[in-house]
Amino acid sequence: MNTPHAAESRPITPDLTLPKLLLETAQRYGDGKVAMREKEFGIWRPITWRRYRDEVRHLAVGFAALGLRAGDKVALIGHNRPELLWAEMAALAVGGVVVWLYQDALLDEVQYVVDHSDARFLIGEGQQEVDKGLAVKARCPKLERIIWDDPKGLRGYDDPALMSLAEVRRLGQEADAEDPGAFARTVARGRGDDVALLFYTSGTTAKPKGALLTHTNMLKMGQNLMAVDPCGERDDFVSFLPFSWIGEQMMSVSCGLQAGFTLNFPEDPETVQHDIREIGPQVLFSPPRIYEQMVRTVQVKVLDAPALKRRVYGWARKVGDEVAERAFAKKPIPGGLRLKYRLADLLVFRKLRDHLGLARIRHAYSGGAALGPDHLRFFHGIGVNLKQIYGQTEIAGISVVHRDGDVKFDTSGLPIPETEIRISAEGEILSRSPCVFKGYYKMPEETARTLNDGWLHSGDIGFLDGEGHLVVFDRRKDVMTLADGSRFSPQFIETRLKFSPYIKDAWVIGHQRNAVTAVVCIDAGVVGKWAEEHHIPYTSYPELSQKGEVRALVAQAVGHVNQGLPAAARIQRFVNLHKEFDADDEELTRTRKLRRAFLEERYRDVVAGLYSGSGDIELDTTVTYEDGRVSHSKTTLSAVDAPGA
């Protein structure tokens, strides 16, 4: 498919690496094109491709002067900023292996990854990251240097392992002046099959595993995605998801270097939605939670709108949903419906897309977990070309994606070029492509299990439909066997529940039990506002969640979901939890996936109460603080019989 935005495809040769591609792209654009923008104090600061290359060059030579060698591990932690991306590319230029950590990782998580990866350098954004590095340094024997970028709060720090990124840059500039050819020689030694990234998986059931991804893995992934959906130098991409997520690496690094589009770094995590609206990107790639939040934002604004606007919005949504359903089914759209949709677009959808920052969007992707059919229908109904992506870290991000005009809400689409998909006799999804990883770091048995018979074993259950679309059921370990012997995906029910603006998270239980139940986390902001409007007093999240009116509100949402489920999969009882699920409490991974086994153990009293028929469930919770202090609290939760069960 050709578009005016498409970039020429650069052949991925065996000797091509990400730093070599950076040099080629910078040579092509120089100071004539913006490579990235960073928003500071409300102003977008442009950075050219020449500047991008020069920053990487000086940092790379500086790292080499500090003793960094090919194969050494460099850990990075911090928000998305140009300086940290330059540090990543500089480490790769020297032949190093980059290990990203989530910015909000706790000390034990930082220690595990830094120690297990054998990282020699830890590069952090500022004081918070430096503190984490210093706290784990004694327990990470390979860690030699902790390098920081933002000096705020670091004046009194005098540990000899500390060094500023500015000092590394200065060392590099001096060494580069003495030997101007050193950088080019170092980059030239790289090969495509060299390991570039050591990516730690989310660890839903056990300690995270470190996946070894090569330069060729990453480059091929970007090339094959853009063979389906071309991107080009005139496009904008907003980089706001952690670089420790494979999807962000795939778009910002692999696709960004090949297409030459502009990366945009928001000012702050809290300003992301506003900054996306200012940029108006053509391409967006996010996990489902971002799209779920967008839908929740719209729903809340509609609840606050005057009656006339609510009626107009409701009419437009019905029109949009009808158009979307016809498009999904590949049915023609009658002329009268087309006219209605044009009016709905003029009155509602155009303004809505602009408010969400999607006014110029061409390709929007959701990946990392399943997106509910209601959310997919919503976006297509308002005119956003949202597509599902299926893949995993071990295949550099993507193996399957929807095609334009061929989106099905219950599938993930078709394999991308150079990717084969097959289903094992047990129903497991197997993949094979040049993007499949080399293996897990220091885990040969896990590697052998995952890369069996030359195929990547995903651990996911699914099937191929009559048109070759992949239908992903769920993780094999998470599929429920219901009371009637049928199998069902808890994730499917959870995504349907989260379409309600009042429900932020849900955990569905029912494997080999006599009924399906659910634990619900309300959205404090939305439900709190609803309570205020209905003159319902409350002082805290726990109190709000257990209000009778709030339980009734959630019961309506559960009953609505039950209407669309087979009898055996309907939720019989539910409880509103007294808190939100939290990654810091180990209830979620850093990518906000449920850690089901942990939840089952932590809330075993809640689960027992749901299945015993009790009205009130007594819960004794333990909170462990960062300094080791432990506190206990007792909470009473009220179980509710769900409508429509």
CA distances from 573 to 166, 238, 609 (A): 58, 41, 10
Q: Supply the mean pLDDT for the chain.
A: 93
Decide if 606 contacts 635 (C-beta within 8 A): no
Asked if pLDDT for residue 440 goes beyond 60, the answer is yes
Residue 397 Ramachandran class (φ > 0 left, ψ -120 to 50 alpha, else beta): left
C-beta neighbour count of 417 within 10 angstroms:
11
Query: Which carries the bigger pLDDT value, residue 103 or residue 202?
Result: 103
Q: State the pLDDT at residue 334.
A: 96
Q: State the pLDDT at residue 523.
A: 94
Distance, in Å, from the CA atom of 52 to the CA atom of 234, rounded to the nearest integer, reads 18
Query: Which carries the bigger pLDDT value, residue 584 or residue 218?
Result: 218
Q: Using one digit for the tens of pLDDT, what is the confidence trace for 368-377?
A: 888 888 999 9
Distance, in Å, from the CA atom of 187 to the CA atom of 26, rounded to the nearest integer, reads 14
Q: Using one digit for the tens of pLDDT, what is the confidence trace for 406-428?
A: 999 889 999 999 999 999 999 99
Asked if pLDDT for residue 4 goes beyond 50, the answer is no
Q: % helix / strand / coil in the chain, to the nearest 5?
A: 40, 25, 35
Q: State the pLDDT at residue 204.
A: 54
Q: State the pLDDT at residue 624.
A: 59
Q: Name the band, by pLDDT with cuts 50, 70 and 90, for residue 7.
A: low
Sole residue written with tokens 């409350």: 538
Asked if pLDDT for residue 431 goes beyond 60, the answer is yes
Q: Name the band, by pLDDT with cuts 50, 70 and 90, for residue 567.
A: very high
Question: Which range has the worst mean pLDDT, 174-178, 193-197, 221-225, 304-308?
Answer: 304-308
Q: State the pLDDT at residue 276.
A: 94
Q: State the pLDDT at residue 216.
A: 98
Average pLDDT of span 598-624? 87
CA distances from 367 to 266, 286, 417 (A): 21, 6, 18
Percent of the chain having pLDDT more than 70?
Answer: 96
Cα angle: 267, vertex 392, 85; to 5 degrees:
30
Q: Name the band, by pLDDT with cuts 50, 70 and 90, for residue 68.
A: very high
Contacts of 244 (CB under 8 A, 6+ apart): 100, 101, 102, 103, 199, 200, 590
Asked if pLDDT for residue 445 goes beyond 60, the answer is yes
Q: Using one digit for the tens of pLDDT, what is the confidence trace for 467-480?
A: 999 999 888 888 89
Q: State the pLDDT at residue 1.
A: 39
Percent of the chain having pLDDT more than 90?
Answer: 83
Q: State the pLDDT at residue 205.
A: 55
Asked if pLDDT for residue 613 goes beyond 90, the answer is no
Asked if pLDDT for residue 279 goes beyond 50, the answer is yes
Q: Using one digit for the tens of pLDDT, what is the confidence trace for 155-192?
A: 999 999 999 999 999 999 999 999 999 999 999 999 99
Q: State the pLDDT at residue 623.
A: 63
Residue from 138, 136, 159, 139 nearest 147 by CA: 159
Question: Which range has the worst mean pLDDT, 61-70, 101-110, 557-566, 585-594?
Answer: 585-594
Q: State the pLDDT at residue 627.
A: 53
Which of 180-194, 285-299, 582-596 tops mean pLDDT? 180-194
Distance, in Å, from the CA atom of 236 to the CA atom of 244, rounded to the nearest integer, reads 21
Q: State the pLDDT at residue 111.
A: 96
Domains of the chain (ranges; CATH) run: 18-191+246-251 (3.40.50.12780), 286-477 (3.40.50.12780), 479-641 (3.30.300.30)
Average pLDDT of span 554-581? 95
Q: Name the band, by pLDDT with cuts 50, 70 and 90, for residue 2.
A: very low
Asked if pLDDT for residue 3 goes beyond 80, the answer is no
Asked if pLDDT for residue 429 goes beyond 80, the answer is yes
Average pLDDT of span 515-522? 96
Question: Which range has the worst mean pLDDT, 101-105, 342-346, 431-435?
Answer: 101-105
Average pLDDT of span 385-398? 94
Distance, in Å, from the CA atom of 72 to the CA atom of 135, rounded to the nearest integer, reads 22
Q: Using one digit for the tens of pLDDT, what is the confidence trace for 299-355?
A: 989 988 999 999 999 999 999 999 999 999 999 999 999 999 999 999 999 999 999
Distance, in Å, from the CA atom of 587 to the CA atom of 600, rounded to the nearest integer, reads 10
Asked if pLDDT for residue 629 goes beyond 70, the answer is no
